[in-house]
Amino acid sequence: MAPIRTDTQHPITIPIPEDKRTATGAVQWFLEKNEDSKVAPVRYRNELDVYICGEDAFRQIAGDIRSARASVEIICWGFDPAMELTRERQETWPRGVTWGELLRDVAAGKFNGGHPVQVRLLAWYGFIGSTMLGANNMPGYSHDRRSTSQTNRPLNPDDWTEGLVFMPQDKRKEFNARWYQDAFVGAIDHLAIRTRDNSRSAVQKSLADEAGKRGAVENLGLSGLPTDHQKTILIDYEHEGGSHAVGYVMGLNSVTDYWDTQKHLFNDPRRGQPWEGAGDGAPGLKPYQDYACRIRGGALVEVSRNFTSAWNRASGNGTAISRKHDAAAPPPPGLTSTLKGDLHSAQIVRTQAQEGEKTIARLYHQASSFARNYLYVENQYFQHTEWATQLKAHRASFAKYWKAAGRAQSDLPDLHVMVVIPTPERSQMVPRTYDSIKALGHGSSMPNQNKLVEDELKRHGEQQARWEAHVQSQAAKGEVPDPDYYPAPLSPIAASAKALGAEGGISKDLQSIGMRTLVASLWTFDHDWRSTQRKELGVLAELEATARSDASQAERIKSLREKLGRGRYREIYIHSKLMLIDDSFFTLGSANLNLRSMAVDTEINVASDSPEISKDLRKRVWAMLTEGTLDGYSGTRADIKHSFEKWEELAESNGIEKSKGKGPVGFLMPFEDVRTSRIRLA
């Protein structure tokens, strides 16, 4: 086991009475050390509401923005002016109110009695990442620049096609191009737009502090292509002392792909057409899952501080913001004066290389060290092997002290670790994902990468044995060993896998510390398949019609049936960045579980130790994934144990049904990736 990390712990002393020999202490979920409190103070009075998926989140966001009276301040990774926040119709674009239209109207005071509202929009724009590498995070600005030039060219009276729009694609592109043109030249009154691109020198300095070996390609990808990945919204922070202020910290991007419902239909026309975003070959845009947290209260101080510093560093139009944010002082009274209902503590944490802040990474280590019943991770990337090994190290420490206290190993309560992730979007992400899930005992979920690594380790072991035998033989003869017999060094992917240990040893270690793990992915099923596979069904019908007179077609019919059935499945892309622990703690936001989010890209998360919200969120999420059947119930140890075991059974059963082309129960599937890669990117 790796040595445990304790630099985030804030030790306290608890007296233990000699007669009872027991004591009760409070769990430190948050970062509480002085250096953390200076940049990420805990704020104790907040209203927090968590929204699952884009439909509900963007509807609430649109409503809050319409209610703005003085200011709307948005930070995003990408911005698509043509994205509809609400989808009232199923036709082609536009299906509802768009970002661009909403911000124009709000700035003009349409919803504020004619009084203008200052709108500030800050987006990431890196020339290499946004254009050359195809991120297309600002469609109409980072791409489709030709449309902008056409929109602004002089009118040609001899061109009879002037002004005509033939396709929805053209209409959408022209909308975006015109919106960005107007925004950047200041033609939209009371709307200012700026862009930023992360500092490479600051990122290189941040990476220098990170443990682990990285190859040249991986280092180049990290330090040469950093992004600004935060997603926040802040409304009316200073208006009337902040008494109406509301904000969001979220993982949802403001581009059209990220709108989806909790039903995750196989084909939902409201999500959009493939040409509107990142298609996957199936009808329409693919299903997406992510979260947003709506905040009212003192935590908005840090949301404002983050926006202010980022805005003032960025380039573009609009004036600088002058605000004071004191982490050591109570929040402005107005922020908490109108709060109602249950109030909760919250901490805003960030990755910000330009300010030397890595409180997200510190919080992940701190909070997970106290997991005792369950730890649920739902994340776009699961590639931070150091975190996975630290989780085991903290659990081993707990098991050690359990034994030292005279408690029986058989009485050690299990920790249930549930990891839900998508298929890594690039093959170069396979090695880091493999290491991370192998650390939790699931290397076999990536069978071909597992074989690639194990074969190399076996060859290296054989070479090492030959070398040692050769050295002994030469020594017996009084001769110098031949260096050609020396084994070649292990590749980086094999070396990192070897450091984790053999699979059998990992399983025994997990069992010895009472840590049970599962890794799953999410898939939806096409219940209306006859509308999406009409051609293939026609072929099947013809075969079935001739089968009565030709028995040899039976096997072909069976094969085609299964192929058609498997085609009824579509992966739900998990863009989430959620961690839930013991119905006592949650964090969500923009940060993935990889080195990039912990040390490179600018990120922002919100965390809370609210038992009420954590339990409610656990029940809602788990019910959604299991068709309402396995939500963890009351969250007792027995309830979680039962749900964990039933999740394992359900995922396995769904996997079998998927192979047969039959429908699943819920969305859970065993995680599996059959690709291989010797190149690592994180």
CB 375, CB 368: distance < 8 Å: yes
DSSP label at 84?
Answer: B
- Mean pLDDT confidence for 607-611: 99
pLDDT over 90, % of the chain: 79
Spatial contact of 372 and 413, defined as CB atoms under 8 Å apart: yes
Does the pLDDT of residue 374 top 50, yes or no?
yes
Nearest CA among 300, 397, 533, 437 for reference residue 5: 397
For residue 146, pLDDT beyond 60: no
303 close to 591: Cβ distance less than 8 angstroms: no
Q: pLDDT tens digits, residue range 71-113?
A: 999 999 999 999 999 998 888 899 999 999 999 999 999 999 9
Looking at residue 459, what is its pLDDT? 97
* Domain limits, the chain: 34-337, 451-494, 534-566
CB 586 within 8 A of CB 672: no
pLDDT at 166: 63
Report the C-alpha gap between 260 and 264 in whole angstroms: 7
480-491 residue pLDDT tens: 999 999 999 999
Amino acid letter, residue 667: F
Q: Do 139 and 255 touch, CB atoms closer than 8 A? A: yes
Strands 577-581 and 374-379: antiparallel
pLDDT, residue 1, reads 64
Residue 360 is given by DSSP the state H
Residue 191, SS3 per DSSP: strand
Q: 571 φ, ψ to 5°?
A: -70, 140
Residue type, 617: L
Alpha-carbon distance 618 to 622, whole Å? 6
Q: The tokens of 268 are what?
A: 């939902």
Structure tokens at 32: 């509480």
CATH class of 34-337: alpha beta
More confident of the two residues 163 and 524: 524
- pLDDT, residue 150, reads 46
Phi, psi of 324 (to 5 degrees): -105, 135
Cα separation of 361 and 120, whole Å? 29
Looking only at the bridges linking them, the beta strands covering 577-581 and 357-358 are unpaired
**Three-state DSSP state, 442:** coil
State yes or no: pLDDT of 234 exceeds 60. yes
pTM (2 d.p.)? 0.93
CA pair distance 107, 111, nearest whole angstrom: 9
Residue 612 has which token pair? 């009420």
